[in-house]
Amino acid sequence: MRRSNIIYHLINAAIFIVLEVAALNMLRNNGVIQDIWFSKGMQAISGTVWGVSQDLKEYFSLKKSNEALALENYQLRVRLAEIESQNGLENQILTIPKDGIAGNFRYIPAHIMKISNNTHHNYLIIGKGSEDGVSEGAGVITGKGAIGIIDAVSRHYSYARSFKNHEMNISARLGKEGAVGPMAWDGFSSSRAILSEIPHHVQFEKGDTVYTSGYSSIFPPDIPLGTAGEARIVNGATYDIEITLFEDFGALRYVTIVENIGKEEIETLEDAI
C-alpha cells in the first residue's frame, strides 16, 4: 500500500472518531435520561478496564510472591531443623545460619527449571549446581514431602530422579513413633504411594500421618509425606498401605535441596564394615 493511501485511511479514521465523540456528546446533552445512560456506560467501561488492569498486575506480581513464599519456606525448614538439633538446650537465640547448615544437614533453596510427570521414569531439572554447593546424592524436598534425589550435577544445574519413578523409594514411618518401611510411588496417580513391609501386628488408623523415618542418609527425619489409607495383607505377614501424598507433583515450582554433611563418613564406615 502506498504512503498516500495510508495517510488517507488514517485521516478517515480520525474523522470517524471525532464524529463519534461529537455524537455521543450531543446525545448526552440532549436529556437527563440520555445523560444517565451515558454515565452508566462509562462507569461500566471504566470498571471493566480497572478490573482487567488489576488482574494483569496481580498476575505479573505472582512470580515475585511465589519466590518470597519459597524463601520463607526454606528459612522455616532450616530454623525447624536447627531447633530440633538444639532440643533440650534452654535460652538459645536461634537464627537462620548463613551457610544453610542446621543439625547434620545443609539446605539450599532452588527452583525447578523443567519437570517430567508423564512417564514411569520422571525427573526434574533444578536451577542450582555445583557452584551453589549441590552434589550428587543430595535429597530434594518441600514442606509437603520428599520429592527426589540428585543424580547428576553441572556447574549451574542439577538432574534429580523424581519420587514418581519406579527406581526410587523413601524410608517412611507411620506416625512419629510407628513402624518403618519403604514407601514408593504407586505408578499411576500423582498423589498416591504405597508404604510396604509394615508388620501385621502394628496398629494404625486411616488418616495417620506418614513421615520420613530419618534412617536414610539422604532425607532428614519427620518430613510429613502423606496420610494412611486402605491396607492389604501381603503373604499373611505384612501390610501394604495406600498413602495419599501431601505434595501435588503437577504444581511443583520451588524446592529445597538437602544434603547430609556426614553422609560421606557414614558411607565410609559402612564400606569398611
pLDDT category of residue 147 using cuts at 50, 70 and 90: very high
| Separation CA 51–CA 62 (nearest Å) | 16
Domain containing 132 equals 104-272
Q: Which residue has the cell 553422609?
A: 263
* pLDDT (average), residues 90-111: 67
How far apart, in Å, do the first and last CA atoms of the chain sit? 85
| Separation CA 269–CA 51 (nearest Å) | 63
The answer as to whether 257 is a domain residue is yes
Query: Under DSSP, is residue 219 helix (H, G, I), strand (E, B) or coil?
Result: coil
Q: What is the pLDDT of residues 188-238, one digit of tens each?
A: 888 999 999 999 888 889 999 999 998 888 999 999 999 999 999 998 889
The answer as to whether 77 is a domain residue is no
The closest alpha carbon to 238, from 163, 161, 181, belongs to 181
Q: How confident is the model at residue 95, as a pLDDT? A: 45
The answer as to whether 177 is a domain residue is yes
Q: What percent of the chain has pLDDT over 90?
A: 38
Of 41-50, 130-139, 160-169, 244-253, minimum mean pLDDT range: 41-50
pTM above 0.75, yes or no: no
The answer as to whether 224 is a domain residue is yes
The answer as to whether 16 is a domain residue is no
Tally of structural domains, the chain: 1
The answer as to whether 209 is a domain residue is yes
Instruction: Please tell me which of 31-35, 102-106, 178-182 the model is most confident about, judged by mean pLDDT.
Output: 178-182
The answer as to whether 28 is a domain residue is no
Task: Say which residue, 265 or 29, is predicted with more confidence.
Answer: 265
The answer as to whether 81 is a domain residue is no
CATH number reported for the structural domain that contains residue 115 in this entry: 2.40.10.340
The helix, strand and coil proportions of the chain, stated in percent and rounded to the nearest 5, come to 35, 35, 30
The closest alpha carbon to 161, from 173, 70, 170, 143, belongs to 170
pLDDT category of residue 85 using cuts at 50, 70 and 90: low
